[in-house]
Amino acid sequence: MHTVRGYVGDVVSLLDHLSGASGRETLAELDISVLREWLAAQHAQGASRSTMARRTAAARTFTAWALRAELLPNDPGPRLATPSRPRKLPAVLRADQASAAMQASAAGAEQGDPVALRDHAVLELLYATGVRIAELCGLDVDDVDRERRVIRVIGKGDRERVVPFGLPADDALGRWISAGRPKLVRADSGAALFLGVRGGRLDPRTARRSVHDAVGTVSGAPDVGPHGMRHSAATHLLEGGADLRSVQELLGHATLATTQLYTHVTVERLKAIHDRTHPRS
């Protein structure tokens, strides 16, 4: 309903511009120059990129209808370029905040509760590998090679990759596999690595809640979930000197352009540090 109302409002605004600011008298005079003038006026009034994109789509839909209704001699809509939306920089944890979240999670698992052991292993493995939450929940026991400390992941497009993990994640996994998983496993659990309380494969929504809860214990940390842990892992790898190609392969990005987003994150963090600490910033 809100979308329809927005589109109607956009068309009304366009028609007002046609009869007013543009000086045209009939709908048949609506051409590409009028459309561009109208969008330029919206931009000058401070319309956001997302609003501009919606208004462009509304104009295209309207002119296509007007052509079918024989109210326009031709359709100028397809000549309008859709404003690109800027890629929003993801929220990431600082390395010390990530460490504090791991410590809080580890403390919660000290008593050996199977759910707490599972949640700690989930958090450690997400941060260690940067895998997507669906990829993590899709892991089977045989996908983990603790001797080599790698996991076999099936990512988007059924692309398979092997991702390493470190000793803290290995320790958390070991405790989950030996002391936590046996308490939740059922006859129909299958080979799933991570289980829910009823013995089925862990639901990504449950995993998301556990990550938010762990990060929520860290004072001043942004509210990030599993995808935020993925962003954090990629950012910390680059800050530590990893090259883009290696990070691309670890994250399972199809193109390097996606991975390059994280270079902007590291630059923004460096700028923030510079502004905060340099005496002549």
pLDDT in tens, 2-36: 567 777 888 888 888 887 766 677 888 888 988 88
In a domain, 86, yes or no: no
- Which structure tokens are listed for 226? 């599993």
Q: Are 163 and 151 in contact (CB under 8 A)?
A: yes
Q: Catalytic one among 54, 120, 230, 231?
A: 230
d(CA 176, CA 194): 9
The pLDDT score that the predictor gives to residue 86 is: 58
> pLDDT by residue (tens digit) across 231-255?
899 889 888 888 878 888 888 887 7
The pLDDT score that the predictor gives to residue 3 is: 66
The pLDDT score that the predictor gives to residue 77 is: 87
Q: In the chain, what percentage of residues exceed pLDDT 70?
A: 88
Q: Catalytic one among 54, 60, 118, 132?
A: 132
Q: In the chain, what percentage of residues exceed pLDDT 90?
A: 51
Q: Are 228 and 215 in contact (CB under 8 A)?
A: yes
In a domain, 182, yes or no: yes
Residue type (1 letter), 122: V
Q: Catalytic one among 87, 156, 264, 271?
A: 156
Check if 161 is active-site: no
CATH number, residue 66: 1.10.150.130
Chain Cα centroid distance, residue 82: 22
Q: Catalytic one among 24, 161, 227, 269?
A: 227
> pLDDT by residue (tens digit) across 226-237?
999 998 998 898
Q: Which residue has the tokens 């296509």?
A: 64
Check if 262 is active-site: yes
Domain tally, the chain = 2
Indicate if 185 and 75 belong to the same structural domain: no
Indicate if 271 and 227 belong to the same structural domain: yes
> Starting from the edge strand earliest in sequence, which strands make up the sheet with 160-164, in order?
144-145, 150-154, 160-164
Indicate if 227 and 271 belong to the same structural domain: yes
Check if 43 is active-site: no
Check if 7 is active-site: no
Indicate if 195 and 229 belong to the same structural domain: yes
Q: Catalytic one among 60, 181, 231, 253?
A: 253
CATH number, residue 154: 1.10.443.10
Choose among 52, 54, 45: nearest CA to 8: 54
Supply φ then ψ for residue 160, to 5 degrees. Answer: -100, 140
Dihedral in degrees, nearest 10, Cα atoms 160, 224, 92, 157: 20
d(CA 167, CA 13): 60
Residue type (1 letter), 266: T
In a domain, 131, yes or no: yes
Q: Which residue has the higher pLDDT, 189 or 247?
A: 189
Indicate if 102 and 231 belong to the same structural domain: yes
Q: Catalytic one among 54, 120, 231, 262?
A: 262
Indicate if 74 and 101 belong to the same structural domain: no
> pLDDT by residue (tens digit) across 137-167?
999 999 999 999 999 998 887 888 999 999 9
* Mean pLDDT within 61-81: 89
Check if 156 is active-site: yes
The pLDDT score that the predictor gives to residue 172 is: 97
What is Dmax (Cα atoms) for the chain? Answer: 79
Residue type (1 letter), 229: M
CB atoms within 10 A of CB 101: 25
Helix (H, G, I), strand (E, B) or coil at 145: strand
To the question of pTM greater than 0.85 for the whole model, the response is no
Check if 236 is active-site: no
Q: Are 57 and 82 in contact (CB under 8 A)?
A: yes
The pLDDT score that the predictor gives to residue 88 is: 63
Indicate if 159 and 273 belong to the same structural domain: yes
Indicate if 31 and 75 belong to the same structural domain: yes
Indicate if 146 and 270 belong to the same structural domain: yes
How far are the Cα atoms of 172, 186, 211 from residue 125, in angstroms, in the given order? Answer: 8, 23, 11
Domain that holds residue 208: 95-277
